[in-house]
Structure 1
């Protein structure tokens, strides 16, 4: 997903009465994956869509559960992760509003290979694989859109492998902070900025393939260098351009 996808905002409900189907159609029309579909096409989708809520800490599915469709996140955050035989958790992805997850396993007709857990109170749409397959049979353009989405996910996973293999822990963390600053709004060309980490430091550390201790140590080193100021989950960057330059020199 691109940075623009992550700026997804659930649209406000219109004035007057609105049926559940109309509400789902309206929400589906704002999802990047389904952009371009007509209202009639979205209405066909709505037949296989259900609204779902999940409280913070709730598990949406466990590794090994059967997959009956995919999810679209409207509000909140979801982590995709697996646990090693030693009990260590590895976070694969942190899903944000506007993103989808679960498509690849749906097409493989295999159980989930990761677990999905809500990091905050969430609202989601679950799309049954039956309606996805029906729409793919009906519309070649929709097939290409699905393939493009899966290809982009693969590209991001390859980029992750490159980052873990070739970049130091310090580079990974600086890169993460700069991406968060971009996702927080329009990129700041220079000057001071503040951003709030979207979830716990432990979860972010796992996503960056680091231990929480290593992550905290690097933050402390960056703070001692005057590049950041840490206040809990809020990170103040006195000079964003200096941080970008620091990353470029590694």
Structure 2
């Protein structure tokens, strides 16, 4: 039989207020929310701010695997049997986080179809993003990968959520995100700024014109670009 949602249940309201099994916490920029190897016992929902997900290899190499923003979840692997965190979550800006215990998350997913639909939509969007990231890494040049990363960080393409000013992101982080060197990132950032695609002076403002780099082979970019 099809489950019926409880009258008036609002997933956003549920994720906005602390109660038994869920708590709200504030974190400063660069503060670790959870570390790779920590017990996986809760799911985090980002109310405000941006969070960087990184993975470290046994050799000490770090890779940025995702940048998450408001209304996104992280740490959901605990629901699939992960006992330890597979990545480290670090605040890129001041953040406000709702932490939902695993048992509470399992219960609400079972009892509230409206919440389940919202969460499944999140998982599908994350899967699509991972597939797009893989295609981007395999087939696009480094300048296109950087342009796409900047547009995603600025929330271009998210309906109703324009955010042209993005969090302070180091060139090292950008290099880790797109699989190139910091010097190449610096080269293309300067090029994008000269072409008027971005404003880059302490903080970063991304203009919609940067889309031309992703959608087309801009001649001024291509002359100075690399293919890997």
TM-score w.r.t. the length of structure 1 is 0.68
Partner of 2:169: 200
Which digits, 9 at most, give the CA deviation of each residue in 1:14-67, with x for residues without a partner?
A: xxxxxxxxxxxxxx95xxxx25xxx7x779993211122222222121111111
**Alignment of 1:75 onto 2:42:** no
Partner of 2:186: 216
The alignment yields a C-alpha RMSD, in angstroms, of 3.3
Alignment length (residue pairs): 207
Partner of 2:156: 182
Q: Which 5+ residue runs of structure 2 have no aligned equivalent? A: 1-8, 218-228
TM-score w.r.t. the length of structure 2 is 0.74
Which digits, 9 at most, give the CA deviation of each residue in 1:86-129, with x for residues without a partner?
A: 43321111221221111133322321110111222222111011
Q: Which 5+ residue runs of structure 1 have no aligned equivalent? A: 1-27, 189-193
Which digits, 9 at most, give the CA deviation of each residue in 1:158-198, with x for residues without a partner?
A: 1111111111111122223444273799799xxxxx94342
With over 3 angstroms needed to count, the CA separation of the structure-2 counterparts of 1:132 and 1:141, relative to structure 1, is same
Partner of 1:96: 69
Asked if the contact 2:17/2:24 (under 8 Å) is kept, the reply is no
Asked if the contact 1:77/1:122 (under 8 Å) is kept, the reply is yes
Match 1:111 to one of 67, 73, 84: 84
With over 3 angstroms needed to count, the CA separation of the structure-2 counterparts of 1:154 and 1:45, relative to structure 1, is farther
Name the SS for the 1:182 alignment partner: coil
CA–CA distance in structure 1, aligned partners of residues 199 and 61 of structure 2: 30
Name the SS for the 1:130 alignment partner: helix
Aligned 1:52-63 pairs, distance under 5 A: 52-63=25-36
CA–CA distance in structure 1, aligned partners of residues 74 and 82 of structure 2: 15
**Alignment of 1:128 onto 2:101:** yes
